[in-house]
């Protein structure tokens, strides 16, 4: 039994190593299995969509196979069909497949008219992405000229999702100077095309050739590179898979290392193929000698939620008020979290299992109350987890198959026989969510969640952290529509002394308000509770449950929008407040916060990363105040401000994903994660197209020497209410993670500063170079670094590969600021002769107080351009280029006051 347990654990770790998502994808003999493509429930029923998904994957598989040198193909795909579509005999119930772990989502464009395919990527280069997004029009081939065949687009996005590579174009900077010449940001550089302007505004469009800005040497801002339809170049898929000849990824031989794109910035100038070659997929496969089979498809239709609570009532549950807290959390779950029409059963266990309730469909308050009355009230006996699980399988099978059913398993005890039912769990097809309560819960508990795709959570015995209620609050359906899910607006606790008050406000925004519930728990005596709605009206009618030590108030109808104020008073006891709600409208997506760690297990001194994704539908919420609370097994809590600044742990600025490194390990064992998010005067919903990693929109083509323009992308109305501020409050459980190898205190400083990823350079008057970047910390993105090392070179590869041999800049006067501050530094290069067209490359390395060094930053570049003198007075110029005095290009800034230099040159010449 021990050998089996070990082998399962090793397999689980192998499958989840480095994964940010809950994907079920596995690589089996060169073929990708377990891919889940989900159709959004808001899309109208259309069976042709299913066939279009099949066609996309079938076309993509041989393209992927050839692009990866006969190494990978698509083997099997599950298509998730919405519950509200008609049932058919060939539609079967999913097992572990859910909308939550879908790899591809097909949904309506948001904002409307924006059919860009894209992949959500939270991590660094080489780390798996989260999910691919496609629109129905894209699948139907209606965007063929703009993005190319959908099978090719899928392979482009697959490279983002599976191998963590980035795009090789740049929408913000389409051209750059190299040796004084304009070059398009493309890979490979051998892609042929022309540069044109096509600008539409207010219904009229301008078409013309590109002009050079005489002060910068760069093409004007609206200039675009148009590829020719007939090419011979085979690379690269991450630039423009839409070009017919492109069938390969860029390799180290043809990769354009100078191009200012995300692939170079994030991947240290490495080509796409180099990153793929370093992946676990590549290392565990060899090229095939035969053609791969055609992909197979399974059609899975979402059904009613089937769930069984499996709750520990062993003797240890009497400790630290655990059984009472279990009742409080489970009661809120049954009252509020679990969705209408769900089937719910309940099993308790000690040394044996006890069926408390057979499956009951929740159709109203009565069904919820009946289940609540089944919660355990006494504790005794030992801990037999497998007995509880087996009994739950029996309860479910009396009415349904266990495929796709869910089990919520809570325990605080150890059980040396838990591995004895691992095989039954895997064969059941059920998803198991685990709640580890207290410091002694079975160490193997998380393996059940990992092998079934369930949520793993941990709650300590510190009642004021409200961890158990947060854990149950995280267990809404993985298939439920966002407008039906319970959303946690607040979760706070405090131990009060001597009649202290616990005061605060909860913001109910316009996207929520239905089924709003305020719940208060206590440890000794009922507290005094004062609650006022936004109009100042005091709210009464709290339902008191003295046995469970909780009280709650359900707000009828839709709760008023605004700040709800509360004041709670008690003496020498712990109080908690939880506020939940649902979407105010079935058609208006609510603001949601989902949080997670980058992995389930941490090993000192490797840092963890905490993420919070804040969106309304697909639109990101920017400039929110986001804080993570991380609690260790020792009861120590650490608060982290999460940032969406594109620096440190944060991959992309202003994408609604807030991130931060966690390095404050203090013990081995479980850590719980909770995120608070608050939107105020600065927070706003991003109505424009946010930064996304996805296939390039091609504005037009050169066909037989003629320019054939594609329809322009939809314009964003800057006065749209979507861009206005949003006020909201949310809390979200980020689950739990387990750490190991943490040394005893004092814990040594083994954390270097994080890599600088947003270094930018501009040339100023007098050949000065001005650098800006976001400050790293002493420990990754915490504290302040000790010093910076800045080096320059005229060779981008020498700077990358021989950084310590490159010319060092004097930084004696540069004192590092606190992490996440803006750093600005200006210097004049030495030992480099500036001539017209000179390219200079710059990189920075941060050093901490114990001389630990960061990775070398992204490489910034400047290119010197000396403009020609202006025409003499009286000269006529028929085709002079337009002069843009304030023209700036990211990473390149040419003398704003160049006339002085020109004037001095003319005086010198006249003096001769």
Which helix (DSSP H) or strand (DSSP E) does residue 910 occupy? Answer: helix 899-911
Shortest CA distance to 486 belongs to which of 339, 330, 621, 325?
339
Provide DSSP, 790-856: EEEES-HHHHHHSGGGSEEPP-TT----BTTSEEEEEE--SS----TT-EEEEEEEEE-TT--BPPP
One of 97, 130, 157, 233 is an active-site residue; which one?
Answer: 157
Are 519 and 567 within 8 A, CB to CB? Answer: no
Q: Can you tell me whether residue 48 is helix, strand or coil?
A: helix
C-alpha distances out from residue 540 to 215, 369, 537, 555, 560, Å = 70, 22, 10, 10, 15
Neighbours of 11 (CB within 10 A): 13
Q: Which residue has the tokens 């927070």?
A: 683
- Pull the structure tokens for residue 492: 């706070």
Are 617 and 110 within 8 A, CB to CB? Answer: yes
Shortest CA distance to 408 belongs to which of 477, 339, 322?
477
3-state helix, strand, coil in the chain (%, to 5): 20, 35, 50
Strand partners, 348: 311, 354
Q: Can you tell me whether residue 78 is helix, strand or coil?
A: strand
User: Rounded CA gap, 344 and 346, in Å?
Assistant: 7
User: Rounded CA gap, 34 and 52, in Å?
Assistant: 19
Q: Look up 97 and say whether it is catalytic.
A: no
Q: Can you tell me whether residue 16 is helix, strand or coil?
A: helix
Q: Are strands 26-28 and 608-616 parallel, antiparallel or unpaired?
A: unpaired
Q: Strands across the sheet with 296-301, in order? A: 118-120, 131-134, 104-106, 35-39, 76-81, 296-301
User: Rounded CA gap, 608 and 598, in Å?
Assistant: 6
**Count of positions (residues) in the chain:** 912
Which helix (DSSP H) or strand (DSSP E) does residue 388 occupy? Answer: helix 385-397
| 8-state DSSP, 313 | -
Say whether the peptide bond before residue 746 is cis (omega within 30 degrees of 0).
yes
Q: Is the dihedral of CA 69, 71, 76, 79 positive or negative?
A: negative
User: Rounded CA gap, 832 and 723, in Å?
Assistant: 47
Q: Which residue has the tokens 């060899």?
A: 286
Contacts of 247 (CB under 8 A, 6+ apart): 63, 66, 67, 234, 237
Residues catalogued as catalytic: 157
């Amino acid at each position: 039994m021990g050998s089996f347990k070990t082998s399962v654990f090793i397999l689980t770790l192998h499958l989840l190593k480095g994964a940010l998502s809950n994907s079920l994808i596995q690589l089996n003999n060169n073929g990708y299995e377990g891919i889940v493509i989900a159709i959004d429930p808001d899309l109208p029923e259309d069976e042709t969509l299913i066939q279009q998904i099949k066609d996309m994957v079938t076309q993509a598989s041989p393209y992927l196979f050839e692009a990866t040198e006969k190494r990978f193909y698509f083997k099997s795909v599950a298509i998730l069909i919405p519950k509200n579509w008609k049932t058919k005999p060939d539609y079967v119930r999913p097992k572990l497949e859910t909308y939550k772990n879908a790899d591809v989502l097909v949904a309506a464009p948001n904002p409307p008219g924006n059919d860009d395919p894209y992949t959500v990527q939270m991590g660094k280069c080489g780390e798996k992405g989260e999910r691919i997004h496609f629109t129905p029009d894209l699948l139907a081939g209606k965007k063929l000229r703009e993005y190319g065949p959908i099978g090719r687009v899928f392979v482009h996005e697959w490279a983002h999702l599976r191998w963590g590579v980035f795009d090789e174009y740049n929408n913000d900077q389409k051209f750059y100077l190299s040796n004084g010449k304009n070059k398009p940001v493309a890979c490979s550089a051998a892609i042929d095309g022309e540069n044109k302007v096509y600008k539409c505004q207010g219904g009229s469009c301008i078409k013309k050739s590109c002009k050079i800005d005489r002060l910068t040497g760069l093409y004007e801002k609206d200039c675009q590179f148009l590829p020719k339809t007939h090419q011979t170049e085979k690379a690269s898929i991450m630039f423009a898979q839409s070009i017919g000849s492109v069938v390969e990824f860029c390799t180290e031989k043809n990769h354009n290392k100078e191009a200012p794109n995300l692939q170079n910035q994030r991947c240290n100038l490495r080509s796409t193929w180099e990153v793929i070659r370093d992946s676990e997929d590549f290392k565990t496969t060899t090229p095939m000698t035969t053609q791969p089979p055609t992909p197979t498809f399974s059609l899975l239709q979402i059904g009613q939620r089937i769930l069984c609570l499996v709750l520990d009532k062993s003797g240890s549950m009497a400790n630290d008020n655990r059984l009472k807290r279990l009742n409080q959390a489970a009661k809120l779950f049954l009252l509020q979290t679990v969705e209408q029409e769900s089937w719910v059963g309940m099993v308790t266990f000690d040394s044996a299992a006890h069926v408390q309730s057979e499956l009951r469909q929740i159709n109203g308050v009565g069904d919820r109350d009946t289940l609540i009355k089944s919660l355990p009230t006494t504790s005794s006996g030992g801990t037999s987890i497998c007995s509880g699980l087996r009994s739950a399988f029996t309860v479910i099978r009396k009415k349904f198959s266990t495929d796709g059913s869910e089990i919520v398993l809570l325990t605080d005890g150890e059980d040396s026989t838990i591995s004895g039912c691992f095989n039954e769990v895997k064969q059941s097809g059920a998803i198991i969510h685990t709640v580890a309560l207290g410091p002694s819960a079975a160490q193997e508990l998380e393996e059940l969640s990992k092998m079934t795709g369930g949520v793993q959570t941990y709650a300590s015995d510190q009642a004021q952290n409200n961890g158990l209620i947060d854990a149950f609050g995280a267990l809404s359906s993985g298939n439920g529509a966002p407008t039906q899910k319970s959303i946690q607006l607040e979760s706070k606790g405090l131990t009060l002394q001597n009649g202290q008050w616990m005061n605060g406000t909860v913001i109910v925004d316009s996207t929520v308000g239905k089924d709003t519930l305020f719940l208060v728990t206590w440890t000794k005596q009922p507290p005094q509770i004062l609650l006022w709605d936004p109009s100042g009206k005091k709210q009464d009618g709290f339902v008191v449950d003295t046995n469970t030590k909780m009280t709650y108030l359900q707000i009828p109808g839709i709760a008023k929008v605004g700040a709800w104020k509360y004041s709670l008073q008690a003496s020498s006891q712990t109080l908690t407040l939880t506020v939940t709600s649902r979407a105010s409208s079935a058609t208006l997506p609510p603001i949601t916060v989902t949080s997670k760690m980058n992995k389930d297990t941490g090993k000192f001194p490797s840092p963890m990363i905490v993420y919070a994704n804040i969106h309304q539908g697909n639109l990101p919420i920017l400039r929110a105040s986001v804080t993570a609370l991380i609690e260790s097994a020792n009861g120590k809590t650490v608060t982290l401000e999460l940032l969406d600044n594109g620096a440190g742990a944060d991959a992309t600025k202003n994408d609604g994903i807030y991130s931060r490194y966690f390095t404050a390990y203090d013990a081995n064992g479980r850590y719980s994660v909770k995120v608070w998010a608050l939107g105020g005067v600065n927070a706003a919903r991003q109505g424009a197209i946010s930064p996304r990693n996805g296939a390039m929109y091609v504005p037009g083509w050169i066909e037989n020497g003629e320019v054939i323009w594609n329809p322009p992308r939809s314009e964003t109305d800057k006065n749209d209410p979507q861009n206005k501020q949003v006020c909201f409050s949310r809390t979200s459980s980020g689950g739990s993670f387990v750490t190991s190898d943490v040394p005893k205190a004092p814990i040594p400083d083994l954390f270097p500063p994080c890599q600088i990823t947003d270094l930018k350079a501009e040339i100023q008057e007098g050949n000065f170079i001005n650098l800006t970047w976001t400050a790293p910390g002493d420990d990754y993105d915490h504290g302040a670094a000790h010093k910076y090392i800045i080096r320059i070179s005229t060779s981008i590869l020498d700077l990358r590969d021989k950084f310590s041999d490159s010319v060092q800049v004097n930084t004696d006067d540069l004192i590092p600021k606190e992490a996440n501050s803006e750093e600005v530094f200006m210097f004049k290069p030495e030992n480099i002769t500036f001539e017209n067209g000179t390219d200079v490359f710059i990189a920075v390395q941060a050093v901490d107080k114990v001389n630990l060094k960061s990775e070398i930053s992204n490489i910034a570049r400047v290119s010197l351009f000396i403009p020609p003198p202006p025409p003499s007075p009286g000269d006529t110029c028929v085709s002079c280029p337009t002069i843009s005095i304030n023209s700036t290009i990211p990473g390149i800034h040419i003398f704003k006051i160049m006339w002085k230099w020109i004037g001095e040159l003319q005086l010198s010449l006249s003096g001769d």
